């Protein structure tokens, strides 16, 4: 409390700007529990008085907190601390090469299979398209220090990404190529677990029956499917880490 305004002296070493200090003050009170969920935050005109600033400055602080879902603003009623609505986390699924090099290992990549074909009914179901256009089907493997890290099965819709026809996926992994050539607007990840069958066990160099983490990713570009990819990771060694998101 009461670290209010010293900003009237403009020459001071005012590192953080005023609206950021207001935002941090409120955020701190919420996160420490001093202002619990449902609590009504002081009105804008009260904060104006407390911090001796204009309404726009207070409003900027509150707008950012609202955008971050920490507070909820209702006309005429006021501004309220939101209750922890759902536990969500930002799961960063990095480019696999980046993931491996971040672990300090040397990255290598093997193309197992790459073929261009007219979409089979299975392909169409996987990509969520109805017409039988051309697709590229790729199987490849990513390794760190020579140890298999993940195997990838990918389908690329050539109707959405015609340039992919000319890409050299023996040289560049398809995920990396797509990341640099195709902007995407939406993605969905599904995470599940399986046990390794013969083929998977051989590709990952693990025992048959060992657990594997599976990530299915579908990527769209404004309602058009770009690619569908399934990644298999050895489940006992690999971990997906998702951090943060207070609420």
Residues that bind DNA (CB under 7 A): 7, 10, 14, 17-20, 41, 43-45, 52-57, 59-60, 62-63, 66, 73-79
- Using CA atoms, how far apart are residues 33 and 8, in angstroms rounded to an integer? 30
Shortest Cβ distance from residue 71 to DNA (Å)?
9
Token match 């409390």: residue?
A: 1
- Using CA atoms, how far apart are residues 110 and 199, in angstroms rounded to an integer? 16
- Span between the terminal Cα atoms of the chain, in Å: 22
Nearer residue to DNA within complex by CB, 78 or 146: 78
Give the ranges where 133-185 is alpha helix by DSSP (H). 174-181
Q: Report the DSSP beta bridge partners of residue 186.
A: 220
Indicate which of a second copy, DNA, none lies near residue 185 (CB less than 5 to 8 Å, by partner kind). a second copy
Nearer residue to DNA within complex by CB, 73 or 238: 73
Q: Could you give the string, one character per residue 186-225, with x where binding to a second copy holds by CB under 8 A and - elsewhere?
A: xxxxxxxxxx-------------xxxxxx--x---xx---
Shortest Cβ distance from residue 59 to DNA (Å)?
5
Contacts of 208 (CB under 8 A, 6+ apart): 195, 196, 197, 198, 201
The burial class, CB within 10 Å (0-12 / 13-18 / 19+), for 22 is buried
Number of residues that bind a second copy (CB under 8 A): 56
163 binds a second copy, rule: CB under 8 A: no
87 binds a second copy, rule: CB under 8 A: yes
Least Cα distance to 159 among 98, 118, 188, 115 occurs for: 118
Among 49, 114, 167, 179, binds a second copy (CB under 8 A): 179
Among 36, 38, 78, 162, binds a second copy (CB under 8 A): 36
- Using CA atoms, how far apart are residues 90 and 40, in angstroms rounded to an integer? 28
Contacts of 68 (CB under 8 A, 6+ apart): none
Nearer residue to DNA within complex by CB, 43 or 145: 43
125 binds a second copy, rule: CB under 8 A: no
Residues lying near a second copy in the complex (CB under 8 A) are found at: 30-33, 36-37, 56, 64, 67, 84, 86-95, 98, 179, 183-195, 209-214, 217, 221-222, 233, 235-236, 238-246
């Amino acid at each position: 409390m009461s670290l209010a305004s010293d900003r009237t002296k403009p020459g001071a070493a005012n590192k953080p700007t005023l609206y950021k200090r207001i935002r941090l003050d409120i955020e701190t009170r919420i996160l420490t529990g001093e202002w619990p969920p449902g609590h009504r935050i002081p009105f804008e005109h009260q904060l104006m008085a407390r911090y001796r600033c204009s309404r726009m400055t207070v409003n900027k602080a509150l707008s950012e907190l609202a955008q971050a879902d920490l507070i909820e603003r209702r006309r005429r009623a006021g501004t309220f601390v939101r209750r922890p609505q759902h536990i969500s986390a930002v799961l960063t699924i990095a480019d696999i090469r980046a993931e491996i090099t971040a672990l300090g290992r040397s990255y290598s990549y093997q193309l197992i299979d790459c073929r261009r074909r007219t979409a089979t009914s299975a392909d169409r179901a996987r990509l969520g398209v109805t017409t039988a256009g051309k697709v590229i089907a790729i199987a490849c493997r990513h390794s760190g220090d020579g140890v298999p890290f993940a195997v990838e099965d990918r389908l690329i819709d050539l109707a959405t990404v015609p340039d992919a026809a000319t890409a050299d996926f023996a040289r560049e992994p398809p995920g990396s190529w797509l990341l640099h050539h195709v902007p995407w607007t939406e993605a969905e990840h599904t995470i599940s677990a399986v046990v390794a069958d013969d083929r998977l066990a051989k590709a990952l160099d693990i025992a048959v029956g060992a657990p594997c983490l599976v990530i299915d990713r579908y990527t769209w570009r404004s309602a058009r499917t770009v690619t569908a990819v399934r990644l298999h990771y050895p489940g006992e060694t690999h971990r997906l880490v998702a951090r943060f998101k207070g609420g």
